Amino acid sequence: MFHDAGDVRSLVRLYPVVSIVLSAHIILWILFVLPLTALEPVWQYIIGTNGAIRNGEYWRLISPLVLHYDFNHMTANSLSLWLFGPWLERALGKGKFLLLYIGGGVGANIATVLLLPPMYSHVGASGAIFALFGMYSYLALFRRDLIAPKHTQLLLVIVVIHLLLSLMEPDGNLMAHLFGFATGGLLAPFLAIRPQLPMFHVIRS
């Protein structure tokens, strides 16, 4: 699950999906914080706006997954993906990992559309990140052949801490966090894990 965060070349080589998503987080954040007013209509066209999604603009269920309002928001989600994404990408394979990540994010955004007001707008990868936590929780509870008991306890503590932190965020989208987590847990039984892959490892260049 954890890796040597300083080895960027190994991250890119071994975990291309995580690397591409992280790059998209950073590049798009930089692009939209630049003082280019011409990009404001683009931003408004791709953020998640419940009313627009209900009116058929369904791309807004996916595009917000790589957009963030500010540096802290982008950094927190990117750091979580950097820490918790690589093991799952390697264990599941690129295709299944992408299904989990995007499926969790879309599930979170659908819940946001259904449960929050039409004028509510949202961006961020939190729903997709919580889908990873949902997958890890399923493995910790039901696939103990893959995870040692001490690692199970650590994983569950991490998940609980993130859920509690989401409750304390004044501007956080709790619906996205909860339903992203639930979507990841529901998808988990259908995504086969490579049992030979150790849960904790360090990447070496």
Distance CA 126, CA 176 (A): 7
Residue scoring higher pLDDT (141 or 170): 141
Our answer to whether residue 126 is catalytic in this structure is yes
Output the CA–CA distances (angstroms, integers) from residue 127 to 62, 111, 179, in the order listed: 11, 10, 7
Residue 193 confidence class, pLDDT cut points 50, 70, 90: confident
- 3, 25, 73, 177: which one is catalytic? 177
Query: Can you give the pTM of this predicted structure?
Result: 0.86
The helix/strand/coil state of 72 is helix
Over range 46-69, report the average pLDDT: 95
- 19, 126, 137, 166: which one is catalytic? 126
Distance CA 4, CA 10 (A): 9
pLDDT single digits (tens) 9-38 = 777 888 999 999 999 999 999 988 776 566
Between 93-102, 133-142, 143-152, the lowest mean confidence (pLDDT) is in 143-152
pLDDT single digits (tens) 99-137 = 999 999 999 999 999 999 999 999 999 999 999 999 988
Distance CA 201, CA 144 (A): 18
Neighbour tally for 118: CB within 10 Å: 12
Residue 154 confidence class, pLDDT cut points 50, 70, 90: confident
Our answer to whether residue 177 is catalytic in this structure is yes
Note whether 106 and 98 are within 8 A (CB). no
For the chain, the average pLDDT equals 85
Judged against a pLDDT cut of 80, whether residue 153 lies above it is answered with: no
Distance CA 74, CA 72 (A): 5
